[in-house]
Chains A and B, each alone.
Chain A
Amino acid sequence: MASLREVAEQSQRTGIEVEGLVREFKNGPRAVDGIDLDVGAGEIYGFLGPNGAGKSTTVLMLTTLLPPTAGTARVAGFDIVSEGPRVRASIGAALQEAALDPLLSGREHMRLQTALHGLAKPEREERGQELLARVGLAEAADRKVGGYSGGMKRRLDLALALVHRPRILFLDEPTTGLDIQSRTALWEEVARLAADDGVTVFLTTQYLEEADALAERVGIIDHGRIVAEGTPAELKAEIGRPTVEAVPADPGDREHLAGVLERFGPRAGTSPRGAAARLEGGEAQLAEVVRALDAEGIAIEHLQLHAPSLDDVFLAKTGRSLEGAGDPEPEPAPEEAVGAA
């Protein structure tokens, strides 16, 4: 058995390597359908996809909480099936919903977590205090968590994931449901963890701007498969073409307008009151679009050129917009699990 020091050294060297990972549920679809991943040490990797795409199932497998049906994965250099305890010693995780006890205070959570992770008694209080201060909860440390806001709960969740100084951090939709200030504060902390402490961050999200702002590389998952992977800039460059969106002054002209725009490229996204098309010829075509609309006698209320976004990438790869593309992700029944406590 490797010593804690060996575990720490190994996890410093490696990130996450996944080959052909599959998870099937009884009488259900393949929640994860043969994904490959290679996340480098110290990298922030964004795993982007709609609800039900397989993000959380992937995280559960990589954090050893759900055995895969097929495929292999090494996290911090350790196999997720045969070396579960070593994987867990190397990772921290804040799973989809902040799993906290409303009857305990923030400080009591820290005490419990530090003790369960085996920190020496004198270190527990100090580490807990340090992390509470780091996530801005020092003043609220003795209040019961039941009275915390969503953002405070998420920050405590993050602090709890860090008590044993993990080299790899899994964050499963860490900002879902948070207001923009709480979201931004959490982004800053995650970015700091990666930049200052060299922590590898595997972040799942359904927010395009989150992946765009935080992740060095992004994997886009849909129906359990990775449909695109690269830096946000690479992915957008792959799409390459901007989108033009126009809203007619007369709503009756909407179909006519869409027909005109389609001369310049395929329809794109959904425009609630107008139509949008991806410009095959790039931004230079905008003047031609305006002339064509004028020639057709369509009065325009609003016209906008959009630079390519990750949503465009998702649309290009799946034929659907990321927004509203989700389905509920299947949950494992207890009897589907293997392994021992």
Chain B
Amino acid sequence: MKGRLRTQVGQLAHRSVLRTLRQPAQIVPALVFPLFLLAVNSGGLKDATNLPGFPTDSYLSFALAVPFMQGALFSVMNTGTDLARDIETGFLNRLALTPLRGAALLSGLLAGAVVLGLVQAATYLIVGLVAGAELVTGLGGALTIVALSVSITVAFGSIGLFAALRTGSGEAVQSLFPVFFVFLFISAMALPLNLIQTNWFHDVASANPVTYLLEAFRSLLFEGWDLGALALGFGIAAAVLAVGLLAASAALKTRLVRT
């Protein structure tokens, strides 16, 4: 039984990766858009580093955490849209007529998110370092950044799966994108928490998990190894993944209808 599950996951993962690689429209915006915003923000807001208490002299290093989060948001859209298309075209029914297990379907579909996450993380990091960003934790830090980025991408991708299974509509999944973007903007995206002076914004950003995901990246980029920040970052990614997968599994039970 385990062998069959492994085969199913492997085959669906292979399909998911092929689909991702064969859709440049999924990969290119997820690479270009965050890097474009990084260039704009790091150029336009660099004087923020003069504020007392700003944690680094390089706004580029501070802002480099943001593309990893933006890339993960694209994962919601891409993973969810792919699954929604399978529902709309009846491909899910084809899969339902095989002895496919639900766990295999979800895991296989997230494989595309892993590939996209790897490509994104490597690209953001290389471009950031070439542009002059710091990386005080060295090669180990770089690998940890990639691992964290992929974890977040997969976690957010699971929410895309849930949205697709619940609604069965690619449009509905894509409508989530702005909602997630709002979460990014009401976090410590542009300034560290200690420098956000507006009380309500500080409170919201403090409660926003995205802030702690950003801080985990930033710790690796310019602060040094901070196990607390990393544990929080990976913990939040794991929690989002757990919630996303639970919700997606429940939605799959009603969507993948078979007796």
Contacts and interface: CB of A to CB of B under 8 A. Distances in A.
In order of increasing CB-CB distance, the 3 nearest A-B pairs are A341-B102, A99-B90, A337-B257
Interface residues of B, number: 39
B95 interface: yes
B7 interface: yes
Interface string B1-34: 0001001101110110011001100000000000
Contacts, number: 105
Contacts of B197: none
A118 B18 contact: no
Contacts of A80: 259
Contacts of B168: 334
Interface residues of A, number: 42
Contacts of B249: 341
Interface string A113-148: 101111000000000000000000000000010000
B51 to A, nearest CB: 48
Interface in A131-179: 144, 160
B43 to A, nearest CB: 38
Contact of A332 (B11, B257, B259): B257
Interface stretch (A61-69, A206-214, A250-258, A281-289): A61-69
24 contacts: A65-B96, A66-B257, A67-B257, A81-B259, A84-B258, A91-B97, A97-B89, A97-B90, A99-B89, A101-B15, A101-B19, A103-B23, A104-B18, A111-B11, A112-B11, A112-B15, A115-B7, A118-B4, A334-B257, A335-B254, A339-B257, A340-B102, A341-B102, A341-B252
B11 A88 contact: no
Contacts of A144: 22
A60 to B, nearest CB: 8
B198 interface: no
B259 A99 contact: no
Interface of B: 4, 7-8, 10-12, 14-15, 18-19, 22-23, 86, 89-91, 93-102, 105, 166, 168, 249, 251-259
A136 B106 CA distance: 34
> In terms of DSSP, what is the predominant structure of the interface of chain A?
loop
Contact of A341 (B10, B97, B253): B253
A199 to B, nearest CB: 16
A339 B259 contact: yes
Interface in A87-118: 87-89, 91-93, 95-97, 99-101, 103-104, 108, 111-113, 115-118
A99 B102 CA distance: 19
A85 interface: yes
Contact of A113 (B19, B96, B98): B98
Interface of A: 63-67, 80-82, 84-85, 87-89, 91-93, 95-97, 99-101, 103-104, 108, 111-113, 115-118, 144, 160, 332, 334-335, 337-341
Nearest to B103: A341
Given A65-B258, A116-B95, A144-B22, 15 more contacts: A65-B93, A65-B257, A67-B257, A87-B259, A88-B99, A92-B97, A99-B90, A99-B91, A100-B89, A101-B86, A103-B18, A111-B11, A115-B8, A116-B11, A116-B98
Contact of A339 (B23, B100, B258): B258
B147 to A, nearest CB: 28
A334 B258 contact: no
